[in-house]
Structure 1
Amino acid sequence: MHSIGAGDLPAAHRPAQRRALGLLQACHPAPAAAVTAVSTALAAAGGRGPAGSALVALAVLSGQLSVGWCNDRVDLRRDTACGRTDKPLVSGAARPRTVAAAAGCALALCVPLSLANGAAAGAAHLAGVAAAWAYNLGVKRTVLSWLPYALAFALLPALITMALPGGPWPHWWAMAGGALLGVGAHAANVLPDIDDDLAAGVRGLPQRLGAGGARALAAAALLAASALLALGPAGRLGPGALLGLAATAALALAAAAPPRGHRGTGTGTQSRLPFLAALALAAVDVCWLLLRGAALA
């Protein structure tokens, strides 16, 4: 026997399969999965246990799905004008009404799933989700575009710690490190599409700074996050930690360096090196956060 592939499906079923795949693509599955996985690992490292970690995973996943679908629906007009045929709503693989309904359903599920972690922890997470929705709905076009990212990432450790006995707030360095990680992630995320954003009138802080300024902002914020997460907890740094900080400094220099590819959006591999370095630096910051999971509160 052989498995049924897309080409073996009856013709009547293919549009439905295409719509389902388009809906999945419209939720930004890679970032949603990454944030959910990191949050779940952080919950486990922070002492939430299997049941608590599962609740964190469900709450974060529902929030991320709602934000991803909201983003694609709100950006439909801009993506169409820019010819973004890689977007399911632009290509017709997903329907605007379906994506909007999915975003609303995911947000509705996020409320009880967040509050199942405890009232305080749930409220902290819902505040972060609200910040992400505010970004999608208009803050992204203002000089305060960095603020929703800072709030959402700063509040993520609170979802972990405030569900523990006594409901403690995370240490200041954990929230500040998370906020800096969010700002750096925002600046890095803008880099590949900065020209399209400017053409569409999206003038968040990184766009106003220009490509060079956005690279510098990403590098500085992510390097500061690394230093804070490494130095914030009490105790001396071992050789491994010092080596990690040296590696983050090297990555920050690479992220801030001007690309050597073509001008504008760039098409050469070299033009993507600062962006890739910023992503690597963000990944290092996430590792620092996970390593400090047991000391968040």
Structure 2
Amino acid sequence: MTSPAASSCRRSACGRSFPGSVAWCPTVAAGSSSISSPTSTSSSTSDATRVPGPIRTAIGLIRLSHAFPSIVNAAATGAIATVAGAGPATALRLAVSMLLLQVSIGAVNDLVDRPLDRGQKPAKPLPSGLVSDGLARAWAGVTAVIGLALALPSGPTAIVVAGLGLGLGYAYDLRLSRTVLSWLPLALAVPLVPIYAWLGATGELPPALVALVPAGLLAGAGLAVGNGLVDLERDAPVGKATIAVRIGRDRAWVAHAGAFAVAISIAVLLAPASSTVNSELLGVLRWAGIPLGAAAIAVGAGLLAGRRASLRERGWELEAIGTASLGLGWLAGLAAASGGGVGL
């Protein structure tokens, strides 16, 4: 239960979902720190210049794609589609669709943030010259088009949901990431991930899925505020008025932890009940997903209280993974209660 916007959200030295993210950011370039040192910058730049041109460009595009949130969102989408009953081909198609949508959001994020990154993160793909602005724009456009095209076989409603997630990611990138409303796109996008996956797998949504939406909104808000905590030292000096900057570190941590606490409580209290489970895998996911997700979120929240940005980013990543696990466990219970099954 992570989101496209999540990918936009988590900005790392390598790259950034639906806003995101879970973030719908480690950016995933997988878990790099929000603050890079002069030593690491010069080292990564010199290493890149020793790599042949085409490979160097490919590495730059991967880093531009914000790997961590993109992969988390894609994996969650494929897993949820499978739980809903999709076969391997459909689950893979939906996962790749989500991956490409997240990649597009991450690329747009780096294009918009290039002026800031030039001074603070010169080793990122655009300011370092690994990827040109023109190629980054083309990459963002092509991945968005293919991502939406892969939703076509699931019908017009699935395409609309995918487009909404993509639009939320772009809204974060182009405007809201610099405002006190920076949390809003991810909060709205996180619930779209399970909706897209289930709808794409089955063509319909069970009414009981509505109960998960409030938990998704709160988890998305918690992820967004947590992302602001990771980037606090980076955002404050350049005037990015995120909610974490506006209310301060301590209040932002309490707000993010409170949002997660309520989200977990809702997920536990409203978890679908079923006396029978028609799949061993479904049973494991159902009973392990929620407690493991809650534990990962708790540990991540503890790390986010730290003073080191790199440690806080690891905490944010744990929270993103925990959110996905929480949602997957809840949805496995829904599949069991509705008589659905794992589509393997």
TM > 0.5 fold call: yes
SS in 1 for 2:190: helix
User: Could you give the per-residue CA deviations for residues 22-70 of structure 1, whole angstroms, max 9, x where no partner exists?
Assistant: 1211111222112111211111112222222122112101101101111
CA distance in 1, matches of 2:174, 2:123: 22
Relative contact order higher in (CA < 8 Å, ≥ 6 apart)? 2
1:55 maps to: 93
1:179-218 per-position Cα deviation (integer Å, ceiling 9, x unaligned): 2221122122222221221222211222212222222222
> Residue 158 of structure 1 aligns with which residue?
195
Q: Secondary structure in 2 aligned to 1:57?
A: helix
Report what 1:27 is aligned to.
Answer: 65
Aligned residue pairs total 275
Distance 1:223 1:12, change over 3 A: closer
Work out which of the residue numbers 114, 133, 158 in structure 1 matches 2:151.
114
Shift of 1:243: 6.3
Q: Is 1:129 equivalent to 2:166 in the alignment?
A: yes
- 1:49–1:20 Cα change, 3 Å: same
1:240 and 1:206 mapped to 2: Cα distance?
A: 32
The 3 A distance-change label for structure 1 pair 248 and 73 is closer
CA 1:47–1:76 in 2, change beyond 3 Å: closer, same or farther?
same
Matched-pair contact (CA < 8 Å) for 1:223–1:281: no
Report 1:1-297 matches (<5 A). 14-82=52-120, 84-163=121-200, 165=202, 167-168=204-205, 171-235=209-273, 247=295, 251=299, 254=302, 257=305, 259=306, 261=307, 266=308, 272=311, 276-294=314-332, 295=334
SS at match of 1:93: coil
Percent pairwise identity? 28
The alpha carbon displacement at 1:85 in A equals 2.4
Q: Summarize the Cα distance change of 1:12–1:222 in structure 2 as closer, same or farther, 3 Å threshold.
A: closer
Partners of 2:134 and 2:79 in 1: how far apart? 34
8 Å contact 1:219–1:255 — kept in the other structure? no
Q: Indicate the structure (1 or 2) with the bigger Cα radius of gyration.
A: 1
Provide the C-alpha distance between the structure 2 equivalents of 1:200 and 1:51, rounded to a whole number of angstroms.
45
Q: How many angstroms does 1:173 deviate by? A: 2.5
- Displacement of 1:14: 1.4
| Structure 1 pair 278–21 and aligned structure 2 pair: CA distance change class (3 A) | closer
- Contact 2:292/2:326, CA 8 A, preserved across alignment: no
Q: 2 CA distance for matches of 1:209 and 1:166?
A: 42
- In 1, Cα distance between equivalents of 2:117 and 2:90: 38
Distance change (3 Å), C-alpha of 1:176 and 1:189: same
1:4 alignment counterpart? none
Equivalent-residue separation in structure 1 for 2:221 and 2:66 (angstroms): 19
Question: Which has the higher mean CA deviation after the structures are superposed, 57-66 or 216-225?
Answer: 216-225
Q: Could you tell me how far apart the structure 2 residues matched to 1:245 and 1:64 are?
A: 22
| RMSD of aligned Cα (Å) | 3.0
TM-score of the aligned structures, taking structure 1 as reference length: 0.81
Q: Is the 8 A contact 2:148 2:162 kept in 1?
A: no
Partners in 1 of 2:59 and 2:75 — Cα distance?
A: 21
Counterparts of 1:99 and 1:275 in 2: how far apart (Å)?
25
Letter in 2 for 1:283: I
Q: CA separation in 2, counterparts of 1:192 and 1:28?
A: 15
TM-score normalised by length of structure 2: 0.71
> Does the 8 Å contact 1:40/1:57 carry over to 2?
yes
Q: 1:256: how far off?
A: 6.7
Structure 2 CA distance, aligned partners of 1:56 and 1:25? 22
CA distance in 1, matches of 2:294, 2:66: 32
Query: Structure 1 residues 278 and 223 mapped into 2: Cα distance closer, same or farther (>3 Å)?
Result: farther
Report if aligned partners of 1:48, 1:160 keep a CA contact under 8 Å in 2.
no
